[in-house]
Each structure stands twice: as structure tokens, then as C-alpha cells.
Amino acid sequence: MSYLFDKFLSSHTKERLERIILVLAIVSFLIHLLLIYFVQIGFLSVGSEVALFKNPIAAIYTPFSFILIYEVYLLVFYMPRSVTTYVSKQYEIITLIVIRRLFKDFSDLELTRDWLEIKGDLQFTYDIVLAILIFFIIFLFKKNILKQSLTEKDKNLSKLNFEYFINLKKLIAVTLVPVIVIIASYSLIGWISEIAWSDNLNLGSFVKINNIFFEEFFTILIIVDVLLLLISFFYTNSFHKVIRNSGFIISTILLRLSFSTDGLLNNILILSSIVFGLLILLIHNKYESIEVNEE
């Protein structure tokens, strides 16, 4: 297991993957721009409502997709290292999904006086406000992540038990790597097949593009979070840590539910998830300070 962990989730692997993702992002951006040009000169045919090929601004959507892949890797990378950093990566992923959605919708805006009456423009406004709010809330979340020594983490958790717990989390993280690759490949192949069997690049092939892979991914995260919570009962009985970890699961479930909705409800679920996670963390930190003062 140690060999696989070093192979897939070491700092060296992270740095190498970062360089690969950067190259892929640049190349994909240029390819997307070329496809938009082909559409504009009539070499390719797409549905009239497909926003991804209307404007060069929409090409930014593609490199952002590769950045999201790297963020998914970072989430798995930090899972054995820090619970709160792992959760913050979930929030960063959903923020990037919202930002990516904005780039896709930029080219489909209708700049008229009836801005608030046009569904697409109104959703764009919601997403702009949401992106600012959740970016600030994530800042507050990270600001309140406590840096603690082993003895401060849990008075009832011995060094040996702590190492066992970390090794179990490493095992789960290593197992997640091929699972994520399989899910991502399946989602991509399924989407490409849907396009390939269409007469042209119609709207139906793109309507759920923001949800590709991430619906399944967040479902897997819920299962993993519950598993980690159950395992943690063997190593700690601290009430506030159990509530914190349970709260983070609820937060992940709210994020998963957001993929099943659209419009304002989607924004509300995303915002409520991250606010809930921040409140759980703040209350947990108050419990930690009480325990320190009682020493």
C-alpha cells in the first residue's frame, strides 16, 4: 500500500501531474478556439442553441475542465493529510464548476433592457453573485482551519492509533484513484458517444455538460465520508469531532443535491452547503478552545 501511495499520491506525482494538466489545458484551449473558428466559417455544423461554439470566450470552459481534474486529484491527495483541507477542496471544486459555467454562458447573454426577465441572463446574474459569496466563505473556512499538534488533536487518540487511522485513510485514497479514473472515462466516453450518434452537435448533447462526472464523483465522496466517519469511531469519541465530521457529510450531500437541480435552487443548495460547513467548523473550533482552556 505504501508503494501505491507514493506512486499515485506523493508530492512528486502531484508536481508532475500539475505540469501535465497545464499543458493539456493550454492545448485544449487552442483546439476549442479552432473548433469555434470552424463553426464560424461553416466547416462544422452545430445546433443554434449550443453556447460552447458561439464565441471565443466560451473556449475558456475547456481548460477549466482540466483544472477541475487537477482539483479532484488534490482532494484525494489531501484526504489522508487533513479533514478540513479535504473538505475545503470540495468547496473549491464546486466554485470552479460555477466559474466554468459562467464562461460557457458568457457567449449566450442577451444584453437588453429586459435582463431580469430573460432566464439565461438571470441565471448568469445568480452565478456571478454566488461565485463571489462562496469564494469569500471559502476564505473564511480556510482562515479558521486550526493547526494543531498530535496531542491537541484528540486527548483519547494515541500516536499508534493515529498512525493506524492515517494508514486506513491512505488506503481509501489509493483505492479512490482508479475508481475516479474509471468513472471519468465512463462519463467522457458516454458523452462522446451521445454526440457521435447525433446528426450534429445539438443542444441535447450539452445540456448536462456541467454535471458530467461530478454527479457520480460527489456520490462516491458521500460514501467515502460516511466510511471515514464510521472508522473514526474506533479511534476517537470526542463529541465535537464526530459532529464536525457528520456536518461535513451533510455539506457534501447538499453539494450532490445541487447537481440534480438548476436555476436559483441550484445556487441556494451550493451556498447553503458551504455556509453550513463553515458554521460547523467555527463551532468545532470553539469546542477545541474550551478543551485547551480546561487543561
pLDDT in the model for residue 139: 95
**Residue 180, all three cell numbers:** 475516479
pLDDT in the model for residue 295: 47
Q: Which residue has the cell 460555477?
A: 98
pLDDT in the model for residue 140: 94
pLDDT in the model for residue 101: 85
Alpha-carbon gap, residue 239 to 263, rounded angstroms: 37
Could you list the residue range(s) of the whole structural domain that residue 206 is in? 2-294
Residue 272 sits at the vertex; the CA angle it makes with 255 and 127, to the nearest 5 degrees, is 80
Ranges of the chain with pLDDT below 70:
1, 44-52, 107-108, 110-117, 146-162, 188, 190-211, 236, 291-295
Torsion angle of C-alpha atoms 54, 18, 72, 90, degrees rounded to 10: -90
pLDDT in the model for residue 276: 96
pLDDT in the model for residue 148: 47
**Rg of the chain over all Cα atoms, to the nearest angstrom:** 21
Counting the structural domains of the chain, the total is: 1
Q: Which residue has the cell 455539506?
A: 251
pLDDT in the model for residue 138: 95
- pTM of this prediction exceeds 0.75: yes
pLDDT in the model for residue 204: 43
pLDDT in the model for residue 59: 81
pLDDT in the model for residue 7: 82
Contact (CB, 8 A) for 21 and 70 = yes
